Structure 1
Amino acid sequence: MTSTTSSPALDTAAVVESIADLVHENYVFPEVAGELADLLRRRNAEDSYRAGSAEELADAVTEDLRSVNGDLHLALKHHAVPVPSGQGAAALAAMRRKFDASLGGVPRVELLDGGVAVLELSPHMFPVDWAAQPLAAALTLVAPAAALVLDLRRNLGGDPETVAFVCGYLLDGRTHLNTMLSRQGEVAEQFWTPSFVPGARFGGEKPLYVLTSGNTFSAGEELAYDLQQLGRAQVVGETTRGGAHPREGWTVHPHLELSVPIARGVNPVSGTNWEGTGVRPDVPCDADEALDRALSLALARLAE
């Protein structure tokens, strides 16, 4: 016999009002934040969000949140299973489940022909205090390879500190990767590769290729972009989704989590980021062909 638990009542007007407040107070671009809050309140007053379910409300609000500047980190996310209350709690709980199911975010480590290793990082760049051990083990394992293919085609984002940790194995010396600016335009945080990494480094000289797809997003994009801008790697595959703004989440209903970008990243080489444009590959090809293409490039380079 299967038991069911009824969902908490959805007070649409109150939920949308709380969303408007959070966007207005936290979104990285204050002028756009005000415009979005006004839009949500106007649509709320017009009963435009009279949805039959939390999932339908999530779809409608997300469409409006992205209608001004197309920011893909702006979203009202529906969770079928009730999520913890509080700032950031829902995203962390969901990410922990994915971490446990993906070998810590390193589902594939393999040696291919000619001494070329492939290392897949997916589905997320998990928080570094969780992921340091599996990442260090995998990156140390591929360190002796003649060339490395880093597969980010299924990477959907995560922690910029983890991006810096991974880059520490792929670069020589402490390197500035990214600067986060607050909504006031002030430096909120800088990200550098660590001066020490546990295990062995692949290093900054051997051939390195990064695979991307149209689904690669957020911190997955940052890893590809940072290595590309530094001239350390060739990006092979498809243009990525184009989400560069770090986000924070708020539970606004047991089944609804609001995602709002709270800062913007600035790359020290390009002076900008990949927001809205995606990371453009150096070697464009279909995502399902990218591994074969990168392997061919690596073998040709090693044969020189």
Structure 2
Amino acid sequence: MTTLTKLQPAPVIDETTRLLTEHYVFPETAEQLADLLHRRLAEGAYDVDDAEELARLVTADLQSVNGDRHLRLRHHADPVPPKQGAANLAAIRRDFDTSLGGAPRVELLDGGVAVVELAPMLFPLEWAAEPLSAALTLASHAQALIVDLRANRGGDPDTVAFVCSYLLDERTHLNTMYWRADERTEQSWSLPHVPGTRFGGTKPLYVLTSDSTFSAAEELAYDLQQLGRAVVVGERSRGGAHPCEGWTVHPHLEATVPIGRAVNPASGTNWEGTGVQPDVPCAAADSLSRAHALALARLEG
């Protein structure tokens, strides 16, 4: 059990609130949260001996004002590297190495319908371009495609654009990010060229979601849905549209703070708090068979 023997809760709260006020994409909410955390600290709410328990308590308070699920105090069993973002990067590298680069399943179902599962993350593009290109190229000659995001918890917006590029015919505006740091906007577009072969923008495409689908995986589903390119099948996703950064605030604790927000060019908004609403709602466990049946019916029609 990890203890706070060398670092009491107060310095953790002080550093977390400093990061909030300096970086959180919603400055007014950041001030509210900083006041809340300091009040809770003064009340003794964080007087615990266990870093994991402190992380749970602080995360609940951080998410209590506007429900931002990217806003967290994360516990790490192993000591957290001090460099910004290093803790998260080390963890996702382990996941990358044990998931075939984030494309653990490519399968051809009856009727020429392919399934490509992207999980557990959309990894950084410098890692993931090769395995994703291989998986999507392999599926490119299928008559219809099902992209399974049910177990995908997020990742890199550049990787979202990379995957979308295989599923569209032309360079397309996918999303716009607003960044608090310099109050600028940055557009995300699909690529004019891809390694390998595109599935293209006309054949039937289905995207599977669950209530665990999160963050960049939600963006992938949402972008394709808003473009009218894909039919989303399954459950409403978790609802996190804010890219975040992580900072070490204790040897076993990392504060993750959203530093931007997404604005979809078609809807003018995003999926924050609401999740991606499926076009065909059903239990996540049933969504693959449901999408397969829909694809077969469309191909036969």
Q: TM-score by structure 1 length?
A: 0.96
**RMSD of equivalent CA atoms:** 1.5
**Is the contact made by 1:245 and 1:261 (CA closer than 8 Å) also made in structure 2?**
yes
Match of 1:276 among 273, 277, 280: 273
State the SS of the aligned residue for 1:205.
Answer: coil
User: How far 1:188 sits from its partner (Å)?
Assistant: 3.4
For residues 213-239 of structure 1, give each alpha carbon's deviation from its aligned partner in whole angstroms, at most 9, with x where no partner exists: 000000010000000000000000000
The aligned residue for residue 222 of structure 1 is 219
* 1:83 pairs with 2:80: yes
For residues 193-251 of structure 1, give each alpha carbon's deviation from its aligned partner in whole angstroms, at most 9, with x where no partner exists: 11110000000000000000000000010000000000000000000000000011011
* 1:46 pairs with 2:37: no
Match of 1:121 among 110, 118, 122: 118
* 1:286 pairs with 2:275: no
The aligned residue for residue 37 of structure 1 is 34
Within 5 Å, which residues of 2 pair with 1:203-218? 203-218=200-215
**Is the contact made by 2:4 and 2:51 (CA closer than 8 Å) also made in structure 1?**
no
State the SS of the aligned residue for 2:111.
Answer: helix
User: How far 1:38 sits from its partner (Å)?
Assistant: 1.0
* 1:172 pairs with 2:169: yes
State the SS of the aligned residue for 1:104.
Answer: helix
User: How far 1:63 sits from its partner (Å)?
Assistant: 0.6
Within 5 Å, which residues of 2 pair with 1:234-253? 234-253=231-250
Cα distance in 2 between the residues matched to 1:30 and 1:56 = 27
Cα distance in 1 between the residues matched to 2:169 and 2:63 = 39
The aligned residue for residue 197 of structure 1 is 194
**Is the contact made by 1:149 and 1:211 (CA closer than 8 Å) also made in structure 2?**
yes
User: How far 1:46 sits from its partner (Å)?
Assistant: 2.2
State the SS of the aligned residue for 2:83.
Answer: coil
Which sits farther off after the overlay, 108-117 or 5-14? 5-14
Cα distance in 2 between the residues matched to 1:81 and 1:186 = 35
**Is the contact made by 1:179 and 1:187 (CA closer than 8 Å) also made in structure 2?**
no
Cα distance in 1 between the residues matched to 2:84 and 2:187 = 23
Cα distance in 2 between the residues matched to 1:74 and 1:7 = 22
User: How far 1:182 sits from its partner (Å)?
Assistant: 2.2
Percent identical among aligned pairs is: 68
For residues 72-103 of structure 1, give each alpha carbon's deviation from its aligned partner in whole angstroms, at most 9, with x where no partner exists: 00000111111211211111111101100101
Match of 1:299 among 276, 293, 296: 296
**Is the contact made by 1:83 and 1:93 (CA closer than 8 Å) also made in structure 2?**
no
Gaps in structure 2 of 5+ consecutive residues: none
Gaps in structure 1 of 5+ consecutive residues: none
Change (3 A) 1:140 1:81: same
Within 5 Å, which residues of 2 pair with 1:64-75? 64-75=61-72
State the SS of the aligned residue for 1:136.
Answer: helix
User: How far 1:45 sits from its partner (Å)?
Assistant: 2.0
Cα distance in 1 between the residues matched to 2:147 and 2:28 = 38
For residues 136-185 of structure 1, give each alpha carbon's deviation from its aligned partner in whole angstroms, at most 9, with x where no partner exists: 00000000000000000000000000000000000011111111112379
Cα distance in 2 between the residues matched to 1:83 and 1:185 = 28
Cα distance in 1 between the residues matched to 2:261 and 2:2 = 40
The aligned residue for residue 148 of structure 2 is 151
Match of 2:254 among 252, 257, 270: 257
Cα distance in 2 between the residues matched to 1:89 and 1:160 = 18
Change (3 A) 1:112 1:264: same
- AA at the equivalent of 2:216: A
Cα distance in 1 between the residues matched to 2:250 and 2:163 = 35
- AA at the equivalent of 1:33: A
* 1:187 pairs with 2:184: yes
Change (3 A) 1:281 1:167: same
For residues 243-274 of structure 1, give each alpha carbon's deviation from its aligned partner in whole angstroms, at most 9, with x where no partner exists: 00001101111111111110000000000000
**Is the contact made by 2:166 and 2:199 (CA closer than 8 Å) also made in structure 1?**
yes
Cα distance in 2 between the residues matched to 1:222 and 1:162 = 11
Q: TM-score by structure 2 length?
A: 0.97
